[in-house]
Amino acid sequence: MPVPQICIGDLMELAINCSSLRGVIDIASIKWRAVKITPIYSDNAITYNKDSYLYATGNIYTKTVADLSRICEEEDAEIDWMDAIYSGKAEKSKLFDAKKLEKYFDVKKILCSGADVLISKYLLIPRQVGKISSDILGIEVRILKPEERCIVEVKKLGLLIDRNVPIDLRIGDVFVFYFTKD
């Protein structure tokens, strides 16, 4: 999971599991490393263009960088994204029904990619305060007023749900999610 963006005043939560093969840990023996601050690239899931990271050596192109702590792995792995309106009938049946989200979100864009397995990318802007049930997206989403504090859970790479904490968004935030169905 990419590093979430936060605002001043937001609360970040990080789950730490203290266990070993023997099941016992001396908490006092844990040594913390210094905080490491890394540069933030200007790319995000909306502006990312992996072609800009390719360099040519003869007839071969090589990718020089992919900051997967900021970009979803699916975003970087797929070759071409196309607007969902150009998808075939079979592909459209594999899309997530965005109408389920229209009460709370403006659906800005739906893109598709993939050959055997269709991957769809949804660009949504929250517009109304409320809660989206976990039955719809697999995890509860809370939409807050722009001035409210979000609780942001920093998860381990590859996990959507760590402690079953809802995703907090503010009205006007950009919410990008990916959906796959074979």
CA angle, corner 134, sides to 131 and 136, nearest 5?
A: 90
Span 133-162, mean pLDDT? 82
Neighbour order of strands in the sheet with 175-181: 82-83, 105-113, 118-126, 175-181
In tens, the pLDDT along 52-90 reads 666 666 776 665 555 566 666 677 677 677 787 777 655
Separation of alpha carbons 17 and 106, rounded Å: 37
Q: For the purposes of burial, counting CB atoms within 10 Å of the CB of 105, is it exposed (0-12), middle (13-18) or buried (19 or more)?
A: buried
Q: Which residue has the higher pLDDT, 3 or 171?
A: 171
On whether the pTM is more than 0.75, the answer is no
User: 131 and 143 in contact (C-beta within 8 Å)?
Assistant: yes
What is the rounded average pLDDT for all residues in the chain?
77
In tens, the pLDDT along 91-131 reads 666 778 888 888 999 999 888 887 777 788 888 999 999 99
- Which of 45-53's residues contact partners 24+ apart within 8 Å by CB, and which partners? 45/2, 45/71, 45/72, 45/75, 45/121, 45/176, 46/123, 46/174, 46/176, 48/75, 48/76, 50/75, 50/76
